A = this chain, B = another copy of it.
Amino acid sequence: MVNKSKKEQILRVASNLFNKQGIRATGVDQVVAESQVAKMTLYNHFPSKDKLVLAYLERQDEQWRGWFQSSVEQREDTPQKRLLAVYDVLGEWFAAPEFTGCAFIKTASEYLDHSHPYFEATQRYKIILKNYIRELVEQSDFKKPEALASALYLLVEGAITAYMLQSDTESADHAKNAAAILIQNFKDN
């Protein structure tokens, strides 16, 4: 039986390094050194750096989305309130000292080729986020729910990108204010 804690340890260290430095900038040797593990142990658990990266992306999606959605749902209890809470949770994320930007935006930036497995992974995971917002929209009565969902999604990605670029602590607030206006405008009554 493989020692799962070693595999976890490697993946945890690798994820931190990928987040902080980027994927190309992080070598296997550094992962091995900081994991305090033999190189062959890494290659026993992950047959290549590629597989390690894919495991990182998958885990990142699970962890971030789990945290994000449960934070939203914990904050508010109706779909409409949750649509606004999305931006409060974004603000919480930005303010966290370990914030390193969105792993998927960064990974797509590093591997722009649309047929690259990393890029395909980022696409898969980002669609899930978009769908989450769309579902929240569809659970209320809005005119043109598709248009509203798209706009709210753009505000999410915009806030993430703007915060990464400028560390403007009000990014999330500005997005929330804009979202509130849009939501009001799409109300079906």
Contact = CB atoms under 8 A, between A and B. Distances in A.
A40 B100 CA distance: 38
Copy number in the complex reads 2
Interface residues of A, number: 47
A58 to B, nearest CB: 17
A38 interface: no
A106 B114 contact: no
A112 B20 contact: yes
Interface in A143-166: 147, 150-151, 153-162, 164-166
Interface stretch (A6-14, A46-54, A72-80, A178-186): A178-186
Given A126-B165, A155-B155, A158-B161, 20 more contacts: A101-B112, A105-B105, A106-B112, A109-B109, A109-B164, A123-B166, A126-B166, A130-B166, A150-B178, A151-B178, A153-B158, A153-B162, A154-B159, A154-B178, A155-B158, A158-B158, A158-B159, A160-B161, A182-B182, A185-B185
Interface of A: 20-22, 24-25, 100-101, 104-106, 108-112, 114, 122-123, 126-127, 130, 147, 150-151, 153-162, 164-167, 170-171, 174-175, 177-178, 181-182, 185
